[in-house]
Amino acid sequence: MGNNVLRLEHCTMQFGGVVAVDNFSMEVNEHEIVALIGPNGAGKTTAFNFVTGVYEPTNGKVFFHDELMVANHPAGKMKKLYKGDPDQICEKIVRKTPDQITKLGIARTFQNIRLFKALTVFENVLIAKHMHAKSGLLKTAMHLNYREEIQMRKEAMELLEMQNLAAYRNDIASSLPYGQQRHLEIARALATNPTLLLLDEPAAGMNPQETDELAAFIKKTKEDFNLTVFLIEHHMDLVMGISDRIYVLDFGKMIAHGLPADIQNNDRVIQAYLGVEENA
Q: Confirm or reject binding of residue 38 to ligand ATP (CB under 6 A).
A: yes
Stretch that binds ligand ATP, among 15-23, 223-231, 240-248, 269-277 (CB under 6 A): 15-23
- C-alpha 125/C-alpha 200 separation (Å) is 19
**Subset of 186-225 contacting ligand ATP (CB under 6 A):** none
Stretch that binds ligand ATP, among 43-51, 129-137, 151-159, 181-189 (CB under 6 A): 43-51
Q: Strands 18-29, 33-37: parallel, antiparallel or unpaired by DSSP?
A: unpaired
The distance of closest approach from Cβ of residue 252 to ligand ATP in the complex, given in angstroms and rounded to an integer, is 7
Stretch that binds ligand ATP, among 27-35, 39-47, 94-102, 148-156 (CB under 6 A): 39-47
Q: Of 14 and 195, which CB lies nearer to ligand ATP in the complex structure?
A: 14
* Whether 126 contacts 140, CB under 8 Å: no
The distance of closest approach from Cβ of residue 271 to ligand ATP in the complex, given in angstroms and rounded to an integer, is 17
| Interface map 110-139 toward ligand ATP (x if CB under 6 A) | -x----------------------------
The distance of closest approach from Cβ of residue 41 to ligand ATP in the complex, given in angstroms and rounded to an integer, is 4
Q: Confirm or reject binding of residue 108 to ligand ATP (CB under 6 A).
A: no
Q: Confirm or reject binding of residue 42 to ligand ATP (CB under 6 A).
A: yes
Determine the length of the chain: 280
The distance of closest approach from Cβ of residue 279 to ligand ATP in the complex, given in angstroms and rounded to an integer, is 17
Task: Indicate the angle between helix axes 146-162 and 121-131, nearest 10 degrees.
Answer: 130
149-152 contacts at long range (C-beta below 8 A, 24 or more positions apart): 152/126
Q: Of 143 and 268, which CB lies nearer to ligand ATP in the complex structure?
A: 268
Which class for 40: exposed (0-12), middle (13-18), buried (19 or more C-beta within 10 A)? exposed
Q: Confirm or reject binding of residue 235 to ligand ATP (CB under 6 A).
A: no
- C-alpha 239/C-alpha 258 separation (Å) is 13
**Residue from 12, 23, 26, 43 binding ligand ATP (CB under 6 A):** 43
Q: Of 83 and 169, which CB lies nearer to ligand ATP in the complex structure?
A: 83
Question: Which stretches does DSSP call E strand in the chain?
Answer: 4-15, 18-29, 33-37, 59-64, 67-72, 106-108, 196-200, 228-232, 245-250, 253-258
Stretch that binds ligand ATP, among 1-9, 36-44, 157-165, 216-224 (CB under 6 A): 36-44
Which class for 146: exposed (0-12), middle (13-18), buried (19 or more C-beta within 10 A)? exposed
Q: Confirm or reject binding of residue 45 to ligand ATP (CB under 6 A).
A: yes
Q: Confirm or reject binding of residue 18 to ligand ATP (CB under 6 A).
A: yes
- C-alpha 239/C-alpha 235 separation (Å) is 6
Q: Confirm or reject binding of residue 41 to ligand ATP (CB under 6 A).
A: yes
Phi, psi of 256 (to 5 degrees): -165, 155
* Whether 209 contacts 202, CB under 8 Å: no
Binding site residues, ligand ATP, CB under 6 A: 15, 18, 20, 38, 40-46, 111
